[in-house]
Structure 1
Amino acid sequence: MQSRNALLIDLDGTLYHGERRVPGADELITALDEQGIPFLFLTNNSSAAPETVALRLNKMGIPAKPEQVCTSSMAAAAYMAARKPGASAAIFGESGLRGAVAAAGLTEFTGQTGKPDYVIQGIDREFSYEKLARAGSLILAGAEFVLTNPDLLLPSEGGLMPGAGTLGASLEAMTGVKPTVIGKPSPILMNFAFNLLGVGASQVTIIGDNMMTDIKAGADSGCRSLLLLTEEGVTTPGNLERHKKLSGVEPDLVRSTLQEVREWALSR
């Protein structure tokens, strides 16, 4: 029987802020590796391949392997491939999304006539009016609209930037079509991660700093949740009650530092 201690660990806001490692992140991951506790780094960010995510973590001193990374791009590509193997998809996103689509055996649609099976949209920092018009026209022509993740804001070194959800909102406004959302809090990403771990929802705890995505994802998918409650995360001691009301859920566990998270993980 698989371990009941499997973990899904959010990245931005939980293990790092921008390029700065959150204190205790390296010790937590090292301890999990040493104790053989199964886990995945779970991210809504669709822009980077697992290899790129792992490299970034290692550069910050957080040990990581590509096979320990689960992204919304991977889950989105798997979702499309399961519904229609070998389907065509018009991609509005970055390299991580293109790589995941190709790895799933799907074909990127680049034609000027006809329509693809899917329009898949993630974060795209080269999004333009022309891309909006093209994606919208393909959706209106009947392509299924898939959104990698609903995040409206994307943290960056220069502050908050528009996220994939903001771009998706413009497409939804243009077409009147609601997308299939893959990333947290959707159970689609969570179930994909459970399958990668080889465990059921009852065997997993998701760890994150965001009530609206991480903690709601746990509640909606049937696994436990641990809220990392710091002054630097999305959910802070000052806005916790408001975020509880907005998300409509409660975390199963709350910890204030990653050192406390490590102690909890090792004590089970």
Structure 2
Amino acid sequence: MRDLHKIKCFLLDMDGTFYLGDELINGSMDFLKILEKQDKDFLFLTNNSSKNRMAYVEKLKRLGCDVEPDKVFTSGEATTIYLQNEKPGAKVFLLGTPLLEEEFINAGFELVKDRNESPDYVVLGFDTTLTYEKLWIACDYIRDGVTYIATHPDYNCPLEGGKFMPDAGAMIDFIAASTGRRPHVIGKPNSDIISVICDKYGYNRQEIAMVGDRLYTDIKTGINADIATVVVLSGETSITDYEKSDINADFVYPSLKEIGEDLIK
């Protein structure tokens, strides 16, 4: 039986866990204050690779949560670190936003833009600037056997008002229909993102816990990486959903507020 009191770093999903849309969930800031008092750490972890960490830092600040950039970790950054370990300075054909392109350039990669340039990798992110030309070129490279990586597999990105926009997973299916190939995924629920976090921040897996409101991404990540898992019922997953699911967390709480209350007992 895992003990939350022994956890040194909590990996926090954001939307549905720490905030909902443009409002902090009640008790979220109190939870961070409790961690600080207990000399515990936290890291905001998101699969959304269309933005970089600074975009999230700015949003959190608008909501009244002022954090250092190093407290936010995206699947885009995880992918750059993964590829740096595989082949530093590689040539990459990237399907990504200008913010993700900037992240790859800053990490030392050479971005390939056109056909016939022999990239080492095709990397698919959540590209809200996607064009048919980008998809076509990517499919050509993938069909030719270029190593194919995706930042994350989410099919939809939630929007306010219960709406959605197609996410990277939908793009993965488009490419699979044309090429017959699927990528190696770095972000949640793949355990690679946890390996990268452990390497970057110096934690071992027994010292970290994944906290989130989605069973098939957040909690599945923890299961795949063999770390402690905490599902909160403040977002997508209801207690009815949880009881019907075959994905089980180590702990179930209404929200971060109740986790904090248990930590000070």
Distance 1:151 1:136, change over 3 A: same
Q: How many Å separate the matches in 1 of 2:185 and 2:119?
A: 18
Report the residue type matching 2:179 in the other structure: T
Native 8 Å contact 1:73 1:96 kept in 2: no
Alignment of 1:61-140 (within 5 A): 61-140=64-143
Q: Does 1:179 align with 2:177?
A: no
Report the residue type matching 1:205 in the other structure: A
Using the TM superposition, give the Cα deviation of residue 196 of structure 1 relative to its aligned residue in structure 2, in angstroms. Answer: 2.6
Native 8 Å contact 1:76 1:182 kept in 2: yes
List alignment gaps of at least 5 residues for structure 1: none
Report the residue type matching 1:178 in the other structure: R
Q: How many Å separate the matches in 1 of 2:16 and 2:197?
A: 20
1:238 match: secondary structure: helix
Task: Indicate the larger mover: 189-198 or 69-78.
Answer: 189-198
Native 8 Å contact 1:18 1:155 kept in 2: no
Report what 2:26 is aligned to.
23
Report what 2:15 is aligned to.
12
Distance 1:154 1:39, change over 3 A: same
Q: How many Å separate the matches in 2 of 1:27 and 1:93?
A: 35
Report the residue type matching 2:254 in the other structure: S
Identity %: 32
Count, aligned residues: 259
Q: How many Å separate the matches in 1 of 2:156 and 2:141?
A: 25
Using the TM superposition, give the Cα deviation of residue 119 of structure 1 relative to its aligned residue in structure 2, in angstroms. Answer: 0.9
Report what 2:255 is aligned to.
257
Choose the corresponding residue for 2:155, options 143, 152, 164. Answer: 152
List alignment gaps of at least 5 residues for structure 2: 1-5
Using the TM superposition, give the Cα deviation of residue 37 of structure 1 relative to its aligned residue in structure 2, in angstroms. Answer: 1.0
Using the TM superposition, give the Cα deviation of residue 186 of structure 1 relative to its aligned residue in structure 2, in angstroms. Answer: 0.3
Report what 1:219 is aligned to.
223
Report what 1:235 is aligned to.
237
Q: How many Å separate the matches in 1 of 2:71 and 2:237?
A: 25
Native 8 Å contact 1:55 1:64 kept in 2: no
Normalising by structure 2, we get a TM-score of 0.92
Structural RMSD (CA): 1.7
Point out 4+ residue stretches in structure 1 off by more than 4 angstroms: none
Normalising by structure 1, we get a TM-score of 0.91
Using the TM superposition, give the Cα deviation of residue 176 of structure 1 relative to its aligned residue in structure 2, in angstroms. Answer: 0.9
Native 8 Å contact 1:115 1:142 kept in 2: no
Q: How many Å separate the matches in 1 of 2:224 and 2:66?
A: 30
